[in-house]
Structure 1
């Protein structure tokens, strides 16, 4: 499965808008793109379809010109560069995209769009997982509930925010008791289908060490497109 050329163009356009760089330069893929922003709250390096983009203050741009992409993609390297300027860790992530319809089977559980069920699912999950996904804060949520005659129990959920009116930034959360049941993949497929019907390209951003989430993305048909590495410079 390969992303369509129109899809790649839209992804590039979206990131160009987010980072404040030329979409044409990003499309050409010539060398590296620099965005000097002295009041930037972050130092960020994005690698997208083979092109690197460095966003940050002048001191970061100057240092970055002497480093290869393989260094700048490293969270440790960005922290090293930014520590004298008060840099604080945020993370290193991989970016995946999908523009095709997911395999959507008959749900094994009820699907709820209620925000309260997303909040209840978060309460059942480890705090670090809840913080990474931010499910209940997303614009669109889909929570799978147990088929119980009493109070339904949230089992898994997925959702997305809309970026630049073109990209659906997805996330998923599965309760510890429901992992390895296929419910997480099913929730992702439901969110993907909803995003596709809205004319959006699905994006999956995952921390480089989150192997389970990477596997979920690959099972759902997402394709690797690049990385995003960020450190915080200001409160």
Structure 2
């Protein structure tokens, strides 16, 4: 296994901080008992990690969801129904994978890796805009782009990057040029970024939309362990009456 459950408290702590929950509320909360946490954030989020679950959002929406079970809240259509009158917009449901250790696989050929932003921009220009937006390399600070060669005019083949979430987790994102998909480039790039994140003392996190089969295949091929899911709906931001 690539994730030791002894590291689960670190994952819990990161999400407690990110969702503004009291510290240790996920770690010591009763198994199977959902935590409802009212916030003023313009979103409704359901998170399930192992045997713990939490629903965060406006108090009136939490009250409306009180009779629903966790399986129902895992479905983004349920959250959309709850937020229909509030103008909710689905951000989908994603499986969450983690690793605190990964086996190192050495490629059988020389790999040229760039950490430059220009090469990332060149790769994004080759890809459909929807793919670029979904992966969000621009939001991730540490980027590793596999290049076709070491020459100045080399072409970018794939890029994987990681960011930092609450100083504890390393969310991953991977983008592959259309011409080089299904050739192992995404797996290689992701492996490079993941090992760099682990070396920095972070736990690797990969979020894969439940309908994105290639992303799930990538996660399992690397040996990441699935730990739960996140379902989100965004809400319109409150208008500032002073504007």
TM range (shorter): over 0.9
Of residues 121, 127, 130 in structure 2, which corresponds to 1:128? 130
Q: CA deviation at 1:176?
A: 1.0
- Structure-2-length-normalised TM-score: 0.92
Could you list the runs of 5+ residues in structure 1 that have no partner in the other structure?
none
Contact 1:104 1:190 in 2 (8 A): no
Could you list the runs of 5+ residues in structure 2 that have no partner in the other structure?
238-243
Contact 1:119 1:136 in 2 (8 A): no
Q: CA deviation at 1:5?
A: 3.2
1:132-211 equivalences under 5 Å are 132-147=134-149, 149=151, 151-211=153-213
Contact 1:95 1:203 in 2 (8 A): yes
Residue 62 of structure 2 is aligned to residue 66 of structure 1: no
Of residues 117, 120, 136 in structure 2, which corresponds to 1:118? 120
Q: CA deviation at 1:148?
A: 6.7
Residue 28 of structure 2 is aligned to residue 28 of structure 1: yes
Q: 1:115 to 1:102 in 2, by over 3 A?
A: farther
RMSD of aligned residue pairs (Cα, Å): 1.5
Q: CA deviation at 1:227?
A: 0.7
Contact 2:75 2:93 in 1 (8 A): yes
Q: 1:2 to 1:188 in 2, by over 3 A?
A: closer
Whole-Å Cα distance in 2 between the matches of residues 149 and 45 of structure 1? 47
Select between 21-30 and 172-181 the one with higher mean Cα deviation: 21-30
Q: CA deviation at 1:210?
A: 0.5
> How many residue pairs end up in the alignment?
234
Contact 1:29 1:50 in 2 (8 A): no
Could you say which residue in structure 2 is the equivalent of 1:77? 78
Whole-Å Cα distance in 1 between the matches of residues 236 and 162 of structure 2? 27
Q: CA deviation at 1:25?
A: 2.5
Moved over 2 A (4+): 22-25, 101-104, 106-109
